[in-house]
Amino acid sequence: MNKKLLISLMLGVLLSLTVVLVVFAGITNDIGTLEFDPPVGKVNYTAWLNIYGSDFPYPLTHPPEEILTEDGFNPSAGEDGGFTEDNWQLNVGAFSREEDNLPVNIQFGGLGDYSGTHWYYKFKWDGLDELTTYHTIPVPISTSVGAACPRILPVEVQDTTNIVSFFGEPTKTYQIYRSTIPACEGCSNSNGRYLHLGEVTTDPNGSGIYQDIEPGITEIQSWYVVIYFDDDPYAAHGCHSEPVDPTNVVMGEFTVIFDNEKSAVVLAWETLSEINIVGFNVFRGSSEIQGDNVKINVDIIPTKQPGSPVGDIYTFEDAAVENGQTYYYWIEILTNDMSDQTVGPESVTIPERDWFYYFLPMLFN
């Protein structure tokens, strides 16, 4: 055989093997489970490569430059592919940097009923040796009293700037990440890989705003996530943001108390955002059954910050109450698109009052 032909064949085989290895490396998977086996939709995760060293977790001075979320596993099939009924799944090969034995950090954050629960895991990536790695021991819970995952509002475009608004822990520093790569042509979801943009410290109400002013950014489909990297390994460390839910994010605290001096029930509530909110109605009932309540405000209570990602505080007084009775209250949130929401009920019992106690001082005047 011609020597040149032999060399060409050998190079062709080597090139083919290289291509195969590259393809295989790009689809390497790590699969495992979590302690207490939370259901689908109750957990998200953030993963990153520790390229700065072996310390875990990252200190605040080194937020990861690149992260993967659960949306990054088979993203063309839809969002949240990285957490199924059976296990969590991570395609480590989706990182732009791939090195054997590089430490991989992955943080799981609970949602809904699991809010505040966090699982942390660290492993060495062996994707160059095995295409699928099964982590047989469930990842243990690190804390059940951690910070809730932040919530992010739809991006608002102002001139040439993308406004990213979110809510989280008060006066904490959050890291902002952006992806401009879709899962597939025509897909409406990200491929799950995000790059670091900057950081924002929330105000005393937990509100944060980041302005993405990169030239041309408003003309590109972009996706954002927000992450709180605390310096305590058992606080919320990498739990990424989820879209807002009107029933538990637009509204903050809602309290109902009886004020003796005013002889009235005082309702107080706060909004975290007033985007799409027109105003409020107050309902009162004698039981927890919502169908038995009645509206007690004459006119709609208007929003103070209409259309704003920043909320406000509201109060309402109800003096038409009787001694010894228990009342239940709801706040109805009225929206521009008619997707009204109701929060409550909160209850209060009016104390029995002795008329002799109140009128006795008048007898001695």
Read off the pLDDT of each residue in 122-131 and give the average, rounded to a whole number.
73
pLDDT over 70, % of the chain: 77
- What's the token pair of residue 73? 């596993």
In the prediction, which pLDDT does 59 show? 54
pLDDT per position as a tens digit, 332-354 = 998 766 667 888 899 999 998 65
pLDDT at 284 over 80: yes
Q: What is the pLDDT of residue 219?
A: 94
Cβ-contact 236, 226 below 8 angstroms: no
Higher pLDDT, 67 or 12: 67
Predicted confidence (pLDDT) at residue 54 exceeds the cutoff of 60: no
Arithmetic mean of pLDDT, 146-170: 86
* pLDDT beyond 70 at 360: no
Tell me the C-alpha distance between 276 and 334, whole Å. 9
* DSSP character string of 187-203: -SSB-SEEEEEEEEE--
What is the average pLDDT across 73-78?
Answer: 72
Look at residue 248 in the predicted model and tell me its pLDDT: 46
- Is the per-residue pLDDT at 14 higher than 50? no
C-alpha span between 99 and 109 (Å, rounded): 26
Cα angle at 15 between 9 and 21, to 5 degrees? 140
DSSP string, 13-67: HHHHHHHHHHHHHHT-EEEE-BTT-PPTTSEEEEEEE-TT-S-SS--TT---SEE
Task: Output the pLDDT for position 312.
Answer: 87
Span 228-232, mean pLDDT?
A: 68
Question: 227 Cβ partners below 8 Å, 6+ apart?
Answer: 46, 63, 67, 150, 174, 175, 177, 238, 239, 240, 241
How high is the pLDDT of residue 319?
94
Domains and CATH numbers, the chain: 3-243 (no CATH), 247-349 (2.60.40.10)
> Does position 15 have pLDDT exceeding 80, yes or no?
no
The position carrying tokens 């309702």 is 267
What is the predicted pLDDT for the residue at 296? 95
Render pLDDT for 25-36 as a digit per residue (tens, 0 to 9): 456 789 999 999
Mean pLDDT of 119-126: 86
Pinpoint the alpha helices (H) of 86-209.
Answer: none
Pick from 145-149, 218-222, 227-231 the range whose average pLDDT is largest: 218-222
